[in-house]
Chains A and B, each alone.
Chain A
Amino acid sequence: MMQPLLEVRNLKKYFPVVKGFGPFKEIRWLKAVDDVSFTLHKGETLGLVGESGCGKSTTGRAILRLIEPTSGEVIFQGENIIALSQKEMRKKRREMQIIFQDPFASLDPRMTVKEIIAEPLRVFKTRENIKKRVEELIEKVGLSRSHLDRYPHEFSGGQRQRIGIARALALNPKLIVCDEPVSALDVSVQAQVINLLEDLQKEYGLTYIFIAHDLSVVKHISQRVAVMYLGKIVELGPVEQIFNNAKHPYTKALLSAIPVPEPGAKKEKIILEGDVPSPINPPAGCSFHPRCSGKKPICIEVMPDLVEVEKGHVVRCHLYSGEVKRGI
């Protein structure tokens, strides 16, 4: 078997939440990412979906060590990057890049497009001709050389996202974390950016972690999908399995909740009761049990493990884990 490009093992990120002070100080932990593991092969796209607060963005950032993980391993090309020093890590980052959601906040308004795209090249002191590289990049993302001397505010959202993509590509990365890259864009422009990401992936053999809450977009772009709920992966599998044969009650509810652009389409909706619980004080047992319609007594007490239900398709749910099957 080919060595995976990226292997994430038991990744955890806990944020301290401090209440009170002095002797009354009480620290609780917000478990934003709680024991996340997955592997990713070269050229693959893994979709990471879930609702706000489920930890999908924190996972993406912890993998790049933009946020230091609390524990766990991130094996990138056979090397555990969590163990690297800051200096070594900075070098590694040329191979791991990120594209952010908000193309308005992620570009420095005082820099021209040329400076924005050239900045990573300067930091890494690449010897190649920076000017030539910048011109090549801007054309790759579908803009023209005449745009290079302009400032971000002169561009539309879609164009800014293209600039962000050019900057991420500058150092020929292998892995790009796309954190909601099309959520802030208009519908007609979303498709342009998705097509661009797909073309670049083909051309450069890029590997994507595609974080999004729009499941239609994730289905379109991903080969595999991981569904997160309260910091944990609750289901992970090939895209067809997740969308046509979802096992976890949460995945099922999530899929049924998407409004379909077909008037009159009869679709049974599973409407979940209540809100996502706070990750500071998640419910005992399976964290989804308060909203789950199929819960069994065991769900209230024991957090289920991930079990494989089909090849490459894992689910974190007692309904599939044997205990319930055996009638306990």
Chain B
Amino acid sequence: MEKILEVKDLKTYFYSSGKEIRAVDGVTFSLNRGEILGIVGESGSGKSVTSLSIMRLVPSPPGKIVGGEIIFAGEDLLKLSEKEMRKIRGEKISMIFQDPMTSLNPVFTIEEQLLEVFRVHKKLSKKDAREKAIELLKKVGIPEAEKRLKSYPHQFSGGMRQRVMIAMALALNPALLIADEPTTALDVTIQAQILALMKELQKEYGTSIIMITHDLGVVAEMCHRVLVMYAGRPVEFADVKTLFANPKHPYTIGLLNSIPRLNEQKKRLTPIEGSPPDLGNLPRGCAFYPRCSFKQEVCSEVKPDFRELPDRKIACHLYQGVLDDAAAS
């Protein structure tokens, strides 16, 4: 399959008050054309910074992409100038954010904001741009599109605003859409509408999607492959069915065990003990080892590599032969 995006050993660090925070520290994954990739992880796992790095939107300072490659359609995005990058954003890669209220400008009508996309990138006339905008709003299921163009963002409900954001993101038919927690702020019934819409548009346009979320249910329903992140590093990367049926990394196992299920008899939940790590004060070895129930001596000393197994990639000493070697010697 054709790879549309390849992220190799991406490192994005933040510097504040003399401290180095490794928000993203060696993330590697690839995305095929027409695929939906889920990135899951808890707060501080680096999933959002990964997506901002791909868009080259990491606020700098304090942030800085210090290493790695982001190969998009054969080109390393990290080598492009800001001007070239501006051509990529919106046209080739676009993004939708969690909170549709803060990502739309409250002082402009939807029309002004939607038309801008076409006028800046496509140099369309106002009339043509307007037609395009109406067509788009209809596509994302906004009733009375002509009338609603004149509305301001606050006149829309959360679900409708997210539809507008999706319309704007898909306006130029980008090859890659990054959706950062697109339904987290929405109610379940509205979430179901938005996810159905995204699936439908994905099929129609063949857009590749990176779906960033903490909701394992959303991942299971939407994604083809999943990357699990913890403390800025990838821990497991596999096909969605493999990952849910047979998780191997202790963190993935813990995550799947800790969620209450609708179709199960009531039993005590099995949480992951401890708290998510403090990025400014990570352990020397594997970041998960203080909370891990399978930890070994080596885990506190050495960071595991992100290695390839037949059916997945995983960063855990249990699967790296390190322990076997230690036992042999």
Contact = CB atoms under 8 A, between A and B. Distances in A.
Do the two chains bind? yes
Interface of A: 51-52, 156-159, 186-192, 194-195, 198, 213, 215-217, 219-220, 243, 253-265, 269, 271-272, 275-276
B217 A219 contact: no
A188 B276 contact: yes
Given A213-B187, A213-B188, A258-B217, A188 B262 contact: no
B85 interface: no
Contacts of B261: 216, 261
Given A261-B244, A275-B160, A243 B188 contact: no
6 contacts: A188-B42, A257-B192, A259-B220, A259-B221, A260-B220, A271-B196
Interface of B: 42-43, 157-160, 187-193, 195-196, 214-221, 240-241, 244-245, 254-256, 258-263, 266, 268-273, 275-276, 291
Given A258-B188, A271-B193, A191 B259 contact: yes
Given A216-B260, A256-B192, A275-B190, 10 more contacts: A188-B272, A190-B271, A257-B188, A257-B189, A259-B195, A260-B221, A261-B216, A261-B217, A269-B196, A275-B157
Contact of A51 (B189, B244, B260): B189
Nearest to A219: B262
Contacts of A186: 42-43, 214, 276
Chain A's interface: helix, strand, loop or mixed, by majority?
helix
A260 to B, nearest CB: 6
Given A259-B215, A261-B216, A188 B188 contact: no
Q: Among the interface residues B192, B196, B216, which one has the most CB atoms of the partner chain A within 10 A?
A: B192
B281 to A, nearest CB: 12
Given A191-B270, A194-B269, A195-B269, A52 B216 contact: no
A215 B188 contact: yes
Nearest to B43: A186
Contacts of B43: 157, 186
Contacts of A188: 42, 254-255, 258, 271-272, 276, 291
A191 B275 contact: no
